[in-house]
Structure 1
Amino acid sequence: MSDQQSVADQPRIITERRGHVFLIGFNRPEKRNAADFALLQQLALAYGELERDPELRVGLVHAVGEHFTAGLDLADVGPRLGPDGIDIVPEGGIHPWQVDGSSLSKPVVMAVQGTCLTLGIELMLASDMTVAAESTMFGQIEVARGILPFGGATIRFPRAAGWGNAMRWILTGDMFDAAEAHRIGIVQEVVPDGTQFDRALQLAQRIAGQAPLAVQATLASARSAVRDGDAAAEAGLQPTLARLAATQDARIGMAAFLSRTPADFIGR
């Protein structure tokens, strides 16, 4: 088997379970983790696995190698574009960018480094928090390729960063650094190079240690406010509180509070 063939046979996405945290890794370092059709499909399947498995409480998306992603592999994906765009979600998968009406019920933390272009930024915006290595460089460069961001940047970037901050970068295609990404709010922490994965894992494990039904309900309420408006989210607060108060985890949480001991939640 040639080296080129062995590389082609490698999984584009690698997954690992660390307790209740599901690691999802871009694994095409020889192409700077550019996303071809196989990577997109495998990523969607990993998100589906995260969603379905009750033992998995948090996703952590990271990348093998020096770069998070060079963006879309247009040579591979371009010919697959049809009149209705492109369908990247196989049976059992969930759209990682959640721009097809689907919504992941569990939080996702991201660790990024090196180059993070286009769909990498959009995956950050579709996730819940991002840790970036301090030398990371970002670019929403679709306009320089004759297309538009189609993974949610036109929707989420202005909401996260403010209109002017978003337009400054998505209309020019200019590159920007981790300090700017942090300033405009699309990155939550900037850490020394090489430590981004460990810090993201700390955050993911911290979330995974909380009551999972409560975490998912909190996430759902916040997303409802964004997607459906404040009134819809407000209408769900009291019924959701009543539902959560009747769970075993609520009793575990109260007992831990009274005894001043750590809670060991079970997700029921």
Structure 2
Amino acid sequence: MAIPSTPAPQADDAPRVITERRGHVFLIGLNRPDKRNAADFAMLQQLALAYGELERDPDLRVGLVHAIGDHFTGGLDLADVGPRLGPNGLDMVPDGGLNPWQVDGRGLSKPVVIAVQGICLTLGIELMLASDVVVAAASTTFGQIEVARGILPFGGATIRFPRAVGWGNAMRYMLTGDRFDAAEAYRLGLVQQIVPDGTQLGRALDLAERIAGQAPLAVQATLANARTAVREGDAAAEARLQPELARLAGTTDARIGMEAFVTRTPASFIGK
């Protein structure tokens, strides 16, 4: 699947995020290509609403975040967002939304795959860190450059970046603001696969559909237990393993999975 070519400058009221349902996969596209998909306040709100829709709809099993145009994101549009910062930071999640960076105590229960290309700065890296699988075009360049703008990363990089790549590797880039390429992102573990330019969305969709084809309750339980281990420690995750196994074993999907195993036929899970 090729990335659409960059369109002409958008009207101010053009949607900043476009969504598409493709089976059980929910495609969420950043749509401000004439500004390198820099996130203004409207984009932040619309992205939060898209994540809220993904969370609520039981028919949606996997999110796929991508970007229209040549670049994933140039980061935050400080000219638009800066004046909206209050004494408690930035209030960007409208009713019905969910913070895509999941730094307000509420997490997404479903997996997210991300396809990146071109420039991927600041909040783009943080969106990757808050997701589950990342596919990058070979020429993608990355940068956590907030310190060069006089602010700190506030979308979770200070929490997740060191955990994902190690303290020294994270500080190497967060404290200098230096850019790095896709090969370095892969070495660090920020990216799970590098593909030829223009093929990243297609590959990400393949992975998302592969995940969506599994038993959704089991996928969500696996994700939740892994996150419990990260947030609360191994003991908390271990304590929940057997109860979760018992719960899942009683589901219709577990029966479907067992029948598929016995008959050696593909399983068609229903999420119950």
Which TM-score tier does this pair reach, normalised by the shorter chain? Answer: over 0.9
Identical-residue share of aligned pairs (%): 80
Residues 164 and 189 in structure 2, CA contact (< 8 A), matched pair in contact too = yes
Structure 1 length-normalised TM: 0.98
Deviation, structure 1 residue 5? 9.3
Give the secondary-structure state (helix, strand or coil) at the position aligned to 2:134. Answer: strand
Structure 1: unaligned runs, 5 residues or longer: none
> Which structure 2 segments of 5+ residues have no match?
1-6
In structure 1, give the amino acid aligned to 2:70: E
**CA distance, structure 2, for counterparts of residue 4 and residue 192 of structure 1:** 25
> Secondary structure, in 3 states, of the residue corresponding to 1:35?
coil
- Deviation string, structure 1 residues 140-190 (Cα, Å, up to 9, x no partner): 000000000000000000000011111110000000000000000000000
Question: Is 1:161 the counterpart of 2:173 in the alignment?
Answer: no
Distance in 1, matches of 2:246 and 2:91, equals 39
Aligned to 1:255: 259
CA RMSD of aligned residues (A): 1.2
1:51 is matched by which residue type in structure 2?
E
- Give the match for residue 20 of structure 2: 16
1:71 corresponds to 2:75: yes
Match of 1:53 among 32, 57, 61: 57
TM-fit CA distance, 1:9: 1.6
Off by >4 Å, runs of 4+ in structure 1: 3-6
Where does residue 192 of structure 1 map in the other structure?
Answer: 196
User: CA distance change for structure 1 residues 5 and 125 in 2, over 3 Å: closer, same or farther?
Assistant: closer
Report matched runs for 1:92-111 at 5 Å: 92-111=96-115
Q: Alpha-carbon deviation of 1:122? A: 0.1
Q: 1:28 aligns with which of 25, 28, 32?
A: 32
Aligned to 2:136: 132
Partner of 1:221: 225
Partner of 1:147: 151
Give distance in 2, aligned partners of 1:60 and 1:22.
6
TM-score, structure 2 as length reference: 0.96
Deviations 1:53-89 (A, max 9, x none): 0000000000000000000000000000011001110
* 2:127 counterpart of 1:123: yes
In 1, distance between residues paired with 2:28 and 2:238?
33
- Counterpart code for 1:152: G
Residue type at the aligned position of 1:227: R
Three-state SS of the structure 2 residue aligned to 1:7 is coil
Q: Distance in 1 between matches of 2:256 and 2:131?
A: 29
Following TM superposition, by how much is the alpha carbon of 1:6 offset from its aligned partner in structure 2, in angstroms?
Answer: 5.6
Residues 99-123 of structure 1: per-residue CA shift (max 9 Å, x gap) = 0001000000000000000000000
Cα drift, residue 4 of structure 1: 9.5
